[in-house]
Chain A
Amino acid sequence: MIRNIILIALGLFAMSSTALMSQDNENVFPYDYEVNTLENGLKIITIPMPSNGIVSYYTLVRTGARDEYEQGKTGFAHFFEHMMFRGTKKYPGTVYDSLIISIGADGNAYTTDDYTAYHLSLSKEDLDLVMELESDRFQNLSYPEADFKTEAGAVYGEYRKNITNPISVLWEKLKYTAYDKHTYKHSTIGFVEDIKAMPTLYEYSMEFYSNYYRPENSILMVAGDISTADILEKAKNYYGEWEQGYTAPKVESEPEQTAARSAEVKYDGKTNPIVGIGYKAEAFDATDKSVIARELIGDLAFGSNSDLYKKLYLKEQKVQYISPYFPQNRDPFMSIIYTMVNDPSDIDYVKAEVQKSVDWFQNNLVDKKKLEDLKKRQKYAFLMSLDTPANVAGNLARIVAITGGMDAVEQYFQTLASITPEDIQAEAKTMSEDKRTIIELQGAK
């Protein structure tokens, strides 16, 4: 529906956090899985599940926009993801494409702030070919400079396409305003001047590949009609020679925010005003009650069952939508509330209402039933998201990539089950005004 557009727009930059479930004392994830590591450090997660011959094949590289710490290199992780489709000496880009076409695999890739994912859905009889192709491009990528420059044009096209959306404009400004040192200052697609300069960075692309596309920085996740033994044997064969050599990026920590921040930004098209309010948050840690409590506050205070949603959207109809985006991140990021205000004269009122809602959670204990309903909701959302291999792997990708394994899944559920109204209140108290950044976007016309 219409108000979901904001969520769709956000999907351009980062995958939303997977809603996981709460359940006492048992493994929550319904399929047996195994995590194995090759000698070179490549982690392999296998999730056999019934799927009538369909397999989902994910390669997660734990490098994303977060790792772009060098001046002038923003957006490079995403650009590089494009280059991964430009081939090797053995299988040049067009040959790679034609082989993927020949097996009718559904393949693509995406880049987020924290990681990059390469994924294919395929028939199990094509696993050997896919592993041959995938292992080859992760070890032997090679493309001429002309291809590199041509692809930069496609990336600039992607930027131009995205930036017509006001949410993209707001998102850029929010990150830019809230961060001083950390690389979360820029969006995944990068600063426009860096995108325009991409064609000059051919040499750097080799360096980037050599630094980050290494087995100890990557995870293979395979779900569907497979056997772990078979995948491991094949993986040893195809990926065993992949050499280590990961060089960690020098990502600076963000100093603690000590005063409220705000900025205004103009959008060239027509739009109702949009307000984005971000509160600094901790890095994701599935065992940390405060982290999980913070996630829940997003839903409790600003989700479709919150008092504020009912007041601002349904009753008073001051906003087109109000929506929480409280993502899981590798480094400390933000918990964000987005809202589109119908009448510009109500912007201050809506901003005040958002803070009032936070204040309420600081001063009161949330209703136990509401909290339990939310835990139940997490359970059903999770159960219903695991219906195909692609959905299983796709929904796990973020948590696996940012934590480096599967342990966080069960830990998350255990922590979730233990959250009390008091935990919610304690966490709400950390959402103070001095940790807040507010961006107001107005249309040009």
Chain B
Amino acid sequence: MRNFKTINILALTILLALTATSCRTGDKADDEMNTNKVLMQVDNDPIVAYNIWFKVGSVNDPQGKEGLTYLTAEMMADASTKSNDYSAILEKMYPMASGYGAKVDKEMTTFRGKTHKDNLDEYNKLFMDAVLNPAFKEEDFNRVKNNTLNYIKNVLRYSSDEELGKFALYNYVFEGTPYGHLMVGSVEGIENITLEDIKQHHKNYFNANNYTIGLGGGYPSDMVDKVDTELNKLQDTAINTMVDVTPKPINGLEVLLVEKENNSTAISFGFPIYVRRGDDDFFALALFSSWLGEHRNQSSHLFQVIRGARGLNYGDYAYIERFLNGGRLNKPDPNNGRNNPLFEVWIRPVQHIHRHFALRAAMRELQKVVDNGMTEEQFETTKNFLNKYSIHWAATTSERLGYQVDSEFYGIEDGGNYINHFREKIKNLTLEQVNAAIKKHIQYNNVKIAMITSDAEQFKSDLVSNADSPIEYNSPKPDIVMEEDKDISTYKLDIKEENVTIVPVDEMFQK
């Protein structure tokens, strides 16, 4: 299974602040070790970026021990090794202003970091040691476990309703499948995990046959073999990491109301789409979702309708791939490749009195575009926009490396530059293709809706009875807005009582 990915540096024409030169091809060591590699050597780049990818994620958590992959990765990246206490690691990293961390997603775990090339030898030693020789100490385990529980019980449940809403939606859609719990696990799952479980999980999944080496920037040519030789010391086990993720079909509009005392309602809704990055229809849908709701962008259609014209909240966006940390990041952080994506709409918190109206407004816009398709003008504008805007997604060596590791995950033949590949695909799209893809994959009848709100019983009753939701403003609005409001406030959402579930916030992510 030799798959030595060579990045054609000459094709990296975008955003390259540095002169790119040669990239090595396969060598003997590589042939012997059968290792996948994603290499992006950039001469003169003072930074070296690491991205070591293991094919394991939260889908591989055993039932009842949700969080095992996350805790294992944290015990590697954020804890002591056999040669160094964690505090000694921090001390050594300190003058280098460097570090490494693990990102655990549903189906992939990446260890990522960067350092200045002056410090590469020392950094590499520490990085490799973390992956190869975690000490699995009780004191680290207690700390990591405690931090993770605090994150779920306090931070996620209480400190940001919109992040809570997005995670609630994903768990809701994938309930009962290996995608149905948070990447960090569940409260009870984490409490059930022992150090012994972690050691075993490390042995089983973080093994010599399960990694891909990603290196970018100004590393010397012998670096790749060095890293490979080290990582090849991992256990020579083999394990099947593939799992079945088939979500239950959605019947009509299904609603999850997470009840808590809060000042606004956070809204997320969506449904599975069977289109992955790289598939033909992916690019057509990417254009569509960019038009409907480009992340953190005024150009977003939903943004214009809900915030721009009506001032109901801070922003409104749409996605065909999971965008983690969307409240904080303006561009996606790579390395959450997923074989089971959602189409997802994110309505940032609206005042409770506007919750029904805002949901209706967003669903109505979805229906309009599904029924009527995009117009020529919308299509052309978005095409031009995306062609240039996408170059900002991967500005640094680390980001570009992250995208190339993702291309490896999805099996995309992009000539070593996913962003350019994306731009080419977007440039070649036609309106007919986009509208056909919308018709084929996007709909508004079978949708799961997760909302974080107060007085959920009242909202449930409003939803089920299709109560009117008229809206008043503190300033005059143009006639066209007022007219449209009449339609929105009576827009029918067919929600059956048995399709509404109310869950107190403290029960979220418990199991």
Contacts and interface: CB of A to CB of B under 8 A. Distances in A.
Interface of A: 1-3, 5, 8-9, 11, 19, 49-52, 54, 85, 93-94, 97-98, 100-106, 108, 121, 123, 145-146, 148-154, 157-158, 160-161, 163-167, 199, 268-272, 304-305, 310, 313-315, 317, 320, 340, 342, 372-374, 376-381, 383-384, 387-391, 443
A161 B146 contact: no
A153 B311 contact: yes
B332 to A, nearest CB: 13
A411 B260 CA distance: 51
A123 B95 CA distance: 36
A149 B17 contact: no
A151 B16 CA distance: 38
Contacts of A317: 139, 142-143, 146
B219 to A, nearest CB: 15
Given A100-B298, A163-B263, A377-B97, 7 more contacts: A54-B395, A103-B388, A108-B296, A199-B475, A270-B153, A313-B143, A380-B97
Looking at A101, A108, A270, A378, the one whose CB has the most chain B CB atoms below 10 A away is A101
Contacts of B313: 154, 157, 161
Contacts of B98: 380
Interface in B259-299: 260-264, 296, 298-299
A107 to B, nearest CB: 8
B155 A5 contact: yes
Given A342-B146, A380-B98, A271 B87 contact: no
A305 B299 contact: no
17 contacts: A11-B328, A52-B15, A101-B299, A101-B384, A148-B475, A149-B473, A157-B350, A160-B351, A270-B506, A305-B90, A314-B87, A320-B147, A372-B95, A377-B95, A380-B118, A387-B397, A388-B395
Q: Which 6 A-B pairs give the minimum distances between C-beta atoms?
A: A104-B388, A153-B311, A149-B475, A269-B158, A104-B389, A150-B311
Q: Is the interface of A mostly helix, strand, loop or mixed?
A: helix
Contacts of A166: 158-159
B223 interface: no
B96 A150 contact: no
B388 A123 contact: yes
B470 to A, nearest CB: 16
Looking at B90, B309, B331, B384, the one whose CB has the most chain A CB atoms below 10 A away is B90
A97 to B, nearest CB: 5
Interface in B114-162: 114-116, 118-119, 139, 142-143, 146-148, 150-151, 153-155, 157-162
B321 to A, nearest CB: 18
B97 A146 contact: no
Contact of A2 (B86, B150, B298, B386): B150
B311 A160 contact: no
Given A123-B388, A161-B348, A380-B119, A50 B94 contact: no
B90 A304 contact: yes
A387 B115 CA distance: 12
